[in-house]
Amino acid sequence: MKAPAGSSHAPFTVVTNRRQAEVITSRDELRRLAPFMGREACVSGAARMLDLGVTATYKLVTRFRALGLIQETRQEQRAGRAVRYYRAPAAFFVPFHVLGLEQIGERNRLAHLQRFERNLAASVRHDFSPEWGTLTGLLPSGETYYEIATPDGHLWDPLEEGAPLLLSGWNLIRATPEEARTLQRSLMALLTPYLRREDGDPYLLGTFLCRDHADAQP
């Protein structure tokens, strides 16, 4: 099947099996499948791409084959043994009725949030001296807040030259639908130049924006 009009993606395979969908909508799992997507690869070649051992990669291949996500394409005789090559579709499409966006998002956000929390803790230990802490209170609007501060009331300013490179926290904002749309586009324009770059140091950035439905059910 071809990709939708206006899409930059390669022709995709539609997935209606929930177990398959759970794997290919996980970014971590998809990275492990990546060496085979749209091309042939053997276990040793995939291991080099994934920076994993051959045994660990073989276990991945076995699992992906059992799930029906990759198929053996050919065998090549080398030094008296057969080297098997495998291939997976270049892209996948999962209808929401198979796996909902909220479920996909929750699983991916949870994995990245856990990674972020570990790295945030490491950054705080490295960049702040022990006397720093959190100052909590109420705003005039009634919203609660916390800020990083010293006992003498000096607040950490993330815009200050030389300040630790980190941001953390949720912000409840008030905006009209038009303003929220403008904000969404501005955030995307801000992020886009940094996406898919191969140079530079790695940073974790989470950006979340959605309507706060107070009566929404979990």
pLDDT of 216:
60
pLDDT of 67:
96
Tell me which DSSP letter residue 99 carries.
S
Tens-binned pLDDT, residue by residue, of the chain (218 aa): 344 444 455 588 999 999 999 999 998 899 999 999 999 999 999 999 999 999 999 999 999 999 999 999 999 988 778 899 999 999 999 999 999 988 888 887 887 788 888 888 888 888 888 899 988 888 888 778 888 898 888 888 888 888 888 877 777 788 999 999 999 999 999 999 998 888 998 888 888 778 877 666 65
pLDDT of 2:
41
pLDDT of 9:
55
pLDDT of 4:
44
Assessment of whether the complete model's pTM goes beyond 0.85: no
CB-CB contact of 30 with 54 (8 Å)? no
Write the CB contacts of 26 (distance below 8 Å, at least 6 apart in sequence).
107, 108, 111
Tokens read off for 35 = 């060496």
pLDDT of 112:
77
* DSSP characters over 41-56: EEHHHHHHHHT--HHH
CA-CA distance, 69 to 60, in Å (whole number)? Answer: 11
pLDDT of 218:
55
Token look-up 């974790």 returns: 204
CA-CA distance, 111 to 19, in Å (whole number)? Answer: 18
Token look-up 């980190």 returns: 166
Residues pairing with 61 in the sheet: none
pLDDT of 78:
82
CB-CB contact of 27 with 12 (8 Å)? no
